[in-house]
Structure 1
Amino acid sequence: MATTALGRRGGAAPARLRGRNRGGLTALLFLSPWLIGFSVFFAYPLLATVYFSFHRYDLFTLEWVGLLNYRYLLRDEAAWTAIRNTLWLVVVMVPLRVAFGLGVAQLVTRLKAGTGFFRTIFYLPSLVPLVAGTLGFVFLLNPGTGPVPAILSGLGLPSPDWFGDPSWAKPGLTLLALWSVGDLMVIFLAALLDVPKQLYEAAALDGAGPWQQFFLVTLPVIRPVVMFAAVTGVIQTLQYFTQAMVASRVASGATDSAGTVFVPGYPDGSTLTFPEWLFHQGFRDFAMGYACVLALILFAVSMVFTLILLRQFRGLTEEEA
């Protein structure tokens, strides 16, 4: 009988092992779509980018150069100009878009009538394609033919050369970003409508005014939404490309005809962003190795900004708890 019991126990262990292996294979089967997508669309491109960053690569020839591309970044004046412009947009454009989107959403919630109409009006610009919206915006602010400078001139007010003056080019892009703030407005509007009205009533009974209610009731409740808007805004602005490229080309009058050379960042490099310089190096000059270095820098900076913002958000949440 003892031998029979040992045989049973000995047979139970392989059975459990087979059950675990079967469960692991089942889990891998369900995870396979994500694993394949992660490997094909993230892991492999990232490893390939790291590999090509140590080479001189022009799509035809591949030559090992070690850290030469990284050293060239340190003395590339255009790259540092692009870094400064991109950081300016992150520091100025992102907070303004978040504040303006939240302000518009707060205004819509306070309206007594026509809420649906104004919500639609504010949201429509965000549906306009980026290229078309940028073309229209540059035309509206053009000092020679645009209606906005003509109206301001008729009222006796000065009108700057928005996309022709280096000191006004980035503020012009910021105005364009504020004009298309409808996507953030809708998100904030949903968050504001979800704030319990009992909290406002309790704050009013304690003598809190509108501003005190906003800072003591509204902001703490919608703080996760504000953090989401800030994180996504930073990531999108670090990848800011289309609007800057189109605005600089239109303002400079550049065309793609033979014999013309377009220098990105018109005027005087004031609209040159980091992704724009990356695109220029990779697909205009075909310096793919150096473009991979720029891509890795952009990826690392985006990760650092995101981790810092998430860490700050986690700290604020723990303090409230």
Structure 2
Amino acid sequence: MKNIFTILFLCIIPFSYAQETLKQKFKIPYQIEYGENEYLYLQKKEASPRNQQAGFDKKLTKFTNRLNKYYPLNKTVNYSFEKNINGIKTRFDQSIIVDKQFIDDQIEKFSNEKTSIAKNIGPCQSCSWMTLFKKKLKTTKRKGFVKFEEDTIYVNTYLNDSDKESGRETILFYKLKNRQSLKLRFNAITITGVTIPIKYRFKGKGDIEEEFSTSFNLNFLAGYSFGKQLFFHRKKVGNKTNTTKWTVGAFFGGNAVELNEGNSRLEEGKVYNQGALSYGGALGYSFNKINVAAFVGWDRIVGANRDVWKYNDKVWIGFGVGYDLFKF
């Protein structure tokens, strides 16, 4: 029990850090479903870049070709949809027969919705069969960067083939209502300098006893971070964002070790300060600026006394709770 309280006390020693986040990317869905027939769409700016008409003509041709491929004339299309009846979701199955009027209607809808990427890819709310067709088109998420201002989340994505062909670098955005939120996944490469506040060394064979170490150390950590960021729009009182993420990585560094008769095979009364190399892995979890982390590693004495230290190349574990360690 005494050891447990010791660990809990030492875990609150703050971290030191200096961090850089590289290649940070958000996953940008074309649509987000909030409930029955309620969607938030990724929209497109109404700018008039060069070759706009030529770019749209290419999209229209591509859409028409795929429509004819997956829905030839006289084909019977079966689809299903759910309807809320007296608070109970009921599923209905229906079918339609593809004819020329059907094809013309879909092309007209596509043309009318050309200013909204989401509506070009998301399900058609007025005709559930469209969901089946859209799944066969490109519905994967794009990747890019975001910025939250007032009721708008601006999105600048990596260019895809369609963007390059039409000569555009399109700025996209989500429009939020008051008290509406949007959650986006992200990943990034994290590089940071970190100190490990405590190390617990396990009891071993012979005269190797368990040990808690709080010696000075400084390490370089490189890892991969992934998580979610919540964007919450609050009209007139300021927006709010919450970030949760995991970071996993490897570290390498050094620390100072005091050799004495208790942790080494030195003669009684002798004390030496030695440098040691540290290496291992780390796993951290963050909610905004609050962080918890666990480490597993090994220390190796550098110098003439490396063979007398009982914990040389022995595995240890480290813990810590910090503020803004793996900052985003």
Normalized against structure 1, the TM-score is what? 0.20
Structure number with higher relative contact order (C-alpha < 8 Å, ≥ 6 residues apart): 1
Normalized against structure 2, the TM-score is what? 0.19
Specify the structure having the higher radius of gyration (Cα): 2
